[in-house]
Amino acid sequence: MAEQFYIDRIDIDGTEIKGFVSHSLNPAVQRVLNAGGSELDPSMVAVSGVAPVLTGVTVDVGPALAALFNAVNIPHLAFSTNCDVWFAAAAAGGSRGGALKNTRMRMTKGVVVPTTLSNGPMGVAQLGLAIYPDYDGTNPIVAFLAEQNLPAGTAGAAALWNCRALKNGTLGSVLHRLAGLNLDFGVRVQRDTPANSIYPRDTALTGFNPTLTWRTGDVATALAASGLAGAVAAAGGLILYIAQYSAAAAGVQTTGAKTLTMRAGSPWWTPGLQLTNGQLVMLDYICRGMGAAGLTNPPLAYATGVDISAVTESTSSFLYMAGPVKDNITEIEYQNCNIATGIDWEMPESASEPWPTYASIRRREPSIQVDTQDLDYIDGLPIGGKPVDTIFKAFLRKLTVDSEPIADVSIVHTLISCAAGWIEIGDVGGEHAAMISPGMLVTPTGGLALNTAIAIT
């Protein structure tokens, strides 16, 4: 049986990255099949281009970020000598990396860029990388070398990291209870292939447009910071804390953390939320990085050696569940209530910088979609709809520290409402032996209002 191989590490001009959980090489071969006039089957293959890309995902987040953000404005790591991807041979019996048994994939010129950062299984941060090799004029753009010895020393286990918390500004509140966090670095790459070559000779970084998305159950803290109308990152930026798991105790270390910060002024907002009867509420968020004029003011900055002992879970970080939905004083029985803020940000490309330097809200068109089987309420609606009766209300019920629902009369709940708008009936459909679910749409005029300390009335 042929020997099996496992990725061991990547060495980029002396910078080592290990802990890969996946990898893939796309040769990106452009070929042309040609057949003669009397031929049914092609008899010629012409290769017109080869532009390989190697992608991978690593848990070696700390060292990789340090290398990618080393004295550059667009995160990347260029190499001009060797980028070696090492594959360790697995011998019979379980040992790996025997003498002259391993394989090396070598690239001699190119650039490495980050693609994504997210919390993977069990809360371990994972960093996506893309390697774009270029032809150096002499050596193969990608070469496989067999019967190799692994580099001196062992790759060992990579340290593990966790995208821990977000903070709006240096003096702002910490946002916890994060889920589904994903940072798309948005590094735009363009490859130049001369007319007399089938290989790219240079890789250019022409854009840097990072986008951070996440969900949070820290509803009150998040809404107090962002509101429902759209906001921008406060002084100090929107800060993502990345902490290293401790090998000596449960949890993360409070020192030696890293941060990735969206520059102050970067727009961030919630596109909306869904209330599902009897379920906890999670808010979705988006932040798009905005730089400043000048080629040294990127939208995303990196820092290391951060102490996170003060970045602790707030005692005011409570959970919320779906509460009543009311047309003024009339309560509507519902299954789902989708509230969309309808915020549309404009961030045009800059003519002078590789990142946007301007952001403004083009339009806000909120909507509230209610899935209901409450025909008693629907029966009272004209077929063409009606105006909102004084106020339309959707409550988020706060839970105690023991995660029990708090009574209506307590002034601790959250209300999303509109004082004016139009209510119309959705599609009234159903089938035999199934309940009718007509649904309804509320189109607010004048925007949505928010109150994070109110009784349910």
pLDDT of res. 377: 84
Could you tell me where the beta strands, DSSP code E, fall in 74-210? 77-79, 83-90, 102-107, 110-119, 125-133, 143-148, 161-168, 174-175, 178-184, 187-192, 202-208
Residue 267: count of CB within 10 angstroms of its CB: 23
Q: Hunting for tokens 């009150």 — which residue is that?
A: 220
Half-sphere CA count of 188, side-chain side, radius 13 A: 10
Percent pLDDT > 90 in the chain is: 63
The alpha carbon torsion through 169, 181, 25, 6 (nearest 10 deg) reads 110
- What pLDDT tens digit does each residue of the chain (457 aa) get? 456 778 888 999 989 999 999 989 888 888 777 777 777 787 778 888 899 999 999 999 999 999 999 999 999 999 999 999 988 888 766 666 667 788 999 999 999 999 999 998 788 999 999 999 999 999 999 999 988 888 876 667 889 999 989 999 988 888 888 889 999 999 999 999 988 889 999 999 999 999 999 999 888 889 988 999 999 999 999 999 999 999 888 888 999 999 999 999 999 999 999 999 889 999 999 999 999 999 999 999 999 999 988 886 655 578 999 999 999 999 999 999 999 999 999 999 898 999 999 999 999 999 999 988 787 888 788 888 899 989 999 999 999 988 899 999 999 999 999 999 999 987 666 666 555 567 889 999 999 999 999 999 9
**pTM recorded for the entire structure:** 0.91
Residues 371 and 154: their CA atoms lie apart, in Å, by 58
